[in-house]
C-alpha cells in the first residue's frame, strides 16, 4: 500500500448535511468533509459505526511480511465509509482475558480508491514495529465504535531456524467457487505455516473490485492470522495490446490492498522486493515491466546475500510449458544471475500447468550434487492449459488439470518441497540439500 492524500468525497443528493471527520493520514491528520442527504443524526452502535446505511466495520484485513519480519508486521484493511482516526492496536498475546489492557495504538495511513461506479473506498494500513522476535501478538484494526475482532500472528526468529510456508500458482478464475477449497485444504494440511506466498494472477481482472471481493471471501479469516506475500501477474495489468504504452501500468487496486516491501527498483515498489526469513532470501520479481532494471537490481542484492538459501519468484516462467510460449528474454536476463549466485528454487505461474525441472545450470541438467536451480510452475485455480513440448527434456515432472498448492519446509541443511492437490493428495515432492 502506498500512501496518498485523502481526497474529498463527492456530494450526493440535493439536501446535504456536511460532516467533518478527522482522518489520520500519512502519519498526520487531515480534515475531511463529506456531504450526503439525510433526515436525521448519524446512527452509531457499540460495535460498528454506520453512516447512511453503510458500515464502517473493517473489511479485507490482511497481514503482510515486511523486510524485518522478526521485529515488524504490516496489516492492511478497508472501510466502505471514512472513519475518524483509523488505527490498529497490538499487545503480546496470552491466555488471559485481559491481554489487551496495555495494548499499544498505532495510527493508520489512509488512501482512497475510486471504483468504476464512482464509489470511493478508504484503505488503511499500519506497520507494527519494535516487536520481539519469535513472539505471538494479538491485534485488531478499526476505529472507535468500529473495531475488528482480535487476531494473532507470530513474528519470525531473528536468526536462521526451521520454518515452513505455503505457495500457490494462479487462482485467477472461479476464485470463490473453486479456489476456496484449495486455500482451506492448504490451511488444513499446514495450519502452522509461517506465511503464504502467491506468484500472481490473484484475480482475472485486476481492475474489478468484485473479483477482489471473491478473493477475500475465498481466503476467509486466514490472511488475518497468516501473513501473505504476493507478486503481480499479467492480469494485474491491462492488456498491453489494448492500451497505449504510457497507460500500461499496474491497476489501481493492487497497492491499496497490500502493504508490501518497497526496496525494489524505483517505480516497482510493492511489486519487486526481497526479504530475509530465517535463513532464506525471498526475492519477488515482476515479469510485466522494466525487466532489464530488475536484472541489475537482482545481481546487486544477490551479491550481498548472507542467507544460505535463496528462493526467487516470478509470474511468467523462465522455461515455459505453454504450447506457444518461450520467454527467451527471461532466460537471457535472469538465468545467468540465478546461475552466478546458485539460486536454489524459482517459483512461477502463468502457464496453468504443473512442471518441475531437473536441477539446471545454463539451461542444462546438472548432477544432484552440483550447483543448480530447480524451476517450478504451478496453478491453484481451475483454469488449465495443455503441456507444451518445447522444454519437455528439462522437466522431471509435468501435468495439467489439477488445482495444487505447495508446502515448502526449510532447515539449515534441507529444503523439502511437497505439491498437493485440492483433495490433499501428494502430487510431487523433492528435497534439496546444502
Is there a domain that residue 4 lies in? Answer: no
* Averaged pLDDT, 203-211: 97
Angle between helices 180-189 and 209-219 (to 10 degrees): 30
Residues 88 and 185 in one domain: no
Express each pLDDT in 9-53 by its tens digit: 333 332 333 333 333 333 333 322 222 222 222 233 334 555 445
CATH number reported for the structural domain that contains residue 134 in this entry: 2.60.40.380
The residue segments making up the domain with residue 363 are 163-433
pLDDT of residue 249: 95
Rg of the chain over Cα atoms, rounded to whole angstroms, equals 22
Confidence of residue 399 (pLDDT cuts 50, 70, 90): very high
| pLDDT bucket at 421, cuts 50 / 70 / 90 | very high
Query: pLDDT digit string (tens) for 49-103?
Result: 554 456 789 999 999 999 999 999 999 999 998 899 999 999 999 999 999 999 9
Last residue in a domain, options 154, 185, 206: 154
User: Could you tell me if 148 and 176 lie in one domain?
Assistant: no
Q: Can you say whether the dihedral through the CA atoms of 44, 47, 49, 52 is positive or negative?
A: negative
Q: Do residues 416 and 388 both lie within one domain? A: yes
pLDDT, tens digit (0-9, with 9 covering 90-100), for 118-158? 889 999 999 999 999 999 999 999 999 999 999 999 999 99
Pair 147, 167 in one domain: no
Distance, first Cα to last Cα, the chain = 36
Give the three-class secondary structure for 293.
helix
Q: 259: closest CA among 88, 45, 31?
A: 88
Q: Do 259 and 353 lie in a common domain?
A: yes
Among 136, 154, 172, give the residue marking a domain's end: 154
Residue 184 shares a structural domain with residue 123: no
Looking at the structure, tell me whether residues 199 and 73 fall in a common domain.
Answer: no
pLDDT at 302: 98
Asked if residue 176 and residue 324 are part of one domain, the reply reads yes
For residue 248, what is the domain's CATH number?
A: 3.60.21.10
Asked if residue 100 and residue 228 are part of one domain, the reply reads no
Same domain, 126 and 51: yes
The whole-chain average pLDDT of the chain stands at: 89
Q: Are residues 112 and 31 in the same domain?
A: yes
332 and 264 share one domain: yes
d(CA 277, CA 285): 17
Task: Write down which residue in 154, 189, 207 finishes a domain.
Answer: 154
d(CA 94, CA 111): 33
Lowest mean pLDDT among 56-65, 87-96, 236-245, 281-290: 236-245
In a domain, 212, yes or no: yes
- Look at the chain and report how many structural domains it folds into: 2
Amino acid at each position: 500500500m502506498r500512501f496518498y492524500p485523502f481526497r474529498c468525497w463527492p456530494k450526493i443528493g440535493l439536501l446535504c448535511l456536511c460532516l467533518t471527520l478527522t482522518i489520520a493520514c500519512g502519519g498526520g491528520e487531515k480534515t475531511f468533509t463529506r456531504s450526503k442527504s439525510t433526515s436525521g443524526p448519524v446512527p452509531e452502535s457499540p460495535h460498528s459505526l454506520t453512516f447512511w446505511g453503510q458500515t464502517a466495520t473493517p473489511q479485507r484485513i490482511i497481514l503482510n511480511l515486511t523486510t524485518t519480519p522478526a521485529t515488524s508486521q504490516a496489516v492492511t484493511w478497508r472501510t466502505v465509509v471514512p472513519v475518524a482516526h483509523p488505527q490498529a492496536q497490538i499487545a503480546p498475546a496470552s491466555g488471559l482475558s485481559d491481554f489487551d489492557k496495555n495494548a499499544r495504538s498505532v495510527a493508520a495511513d489512509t488512501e482512497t480508491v475510486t471504483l468504476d461506479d464512482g464509489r470511493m473506498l478508504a484503505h488503511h494500513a499500519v506497520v507494527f514495529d519494535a516487536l520481539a522476535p519469535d513472539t505471538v501478538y494479538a491485534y485488531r484494526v478499526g476505529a472507535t465504535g468500529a473495531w475488528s475482532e482480535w487476531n494473532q500472528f507470530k513474528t519470525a526468529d531473528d536468526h536462521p531456524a526451521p520454518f515452513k510456508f505455503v505457495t500457490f500458482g494462479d487462482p485467477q478464475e472461479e476464485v470463490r467457487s473453486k479456489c476456496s477449497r484449495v486455500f482451506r485444504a492448504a490451511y488444513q494440511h499446514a495450519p502452522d505455516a509461517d506465511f503464504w506466498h502467491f506468484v500472481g494472477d490473484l484475480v482475472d481482472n485486476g481492475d474489478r473490485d468484485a473479483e477482489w471481493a471473491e478473493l477475500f471471501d475465498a481466503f476467509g479469516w486466514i490472511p488475518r492470522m497468516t501473513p501473505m506475500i504476493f507478486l503481480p501477474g499479467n492480469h494485474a495489468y491491462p492488456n498491453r495490446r489494448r492500451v497505449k504504452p504510457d497507460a500500461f501500468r499496474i491497476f489501481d487496486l493492487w497497492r491499496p490492498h497490500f502493504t508490501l516491501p518497497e526496496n525494489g527498483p524505483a517505480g516497482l515498489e510493492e511489486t519487486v522486493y526481497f526479504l530475509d526469513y530465517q535463513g532464506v532470501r525471498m526475492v519477488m520479481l515482476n515479469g510485466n515491466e522494466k525487466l532489464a532494471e530488475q536484472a541489475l537490481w537482482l545481481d546487486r542484492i544477490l551479491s550481498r546475500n548472507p542467507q544460505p538459501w535463496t528462493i526467487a519468484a516470478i509470474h511468467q516462467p523462465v522455461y515455459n510449458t505453454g504450447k506457444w510460449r518461450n520467454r527467451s528474454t527471461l532466460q537471457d536476463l535472469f538465468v545467468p544471475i540465478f546461475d552466478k549466485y546458485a539460486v536454489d528454487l524459482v517459483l512461477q505461474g502463468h502457464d496453468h500447468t504443473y512442471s518441475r525441472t531437473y536441477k539446471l545450470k545454463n539451461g542444462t541438467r546438472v548432477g544432484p550434487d552440483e550447483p543448480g536451480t530447480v524451476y517450478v510452475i504451478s496453478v491453484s485455480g481451475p483454469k488449465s492449459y495443455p503441456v507444451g513440448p518445447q522444454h519437455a527434456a528439462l522437466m522431471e515432472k509435468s501435468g495439467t488439470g489439477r488445482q495444487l498448492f505447495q508446502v515448502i519446509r526449510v532447515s539449515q541443511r534441507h529444503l523439502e518441497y511437497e505439491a498437493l492437490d485440492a483433495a490433499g493428495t501428494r502430487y510431487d515432492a523433492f528435497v534439496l540439500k546444502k
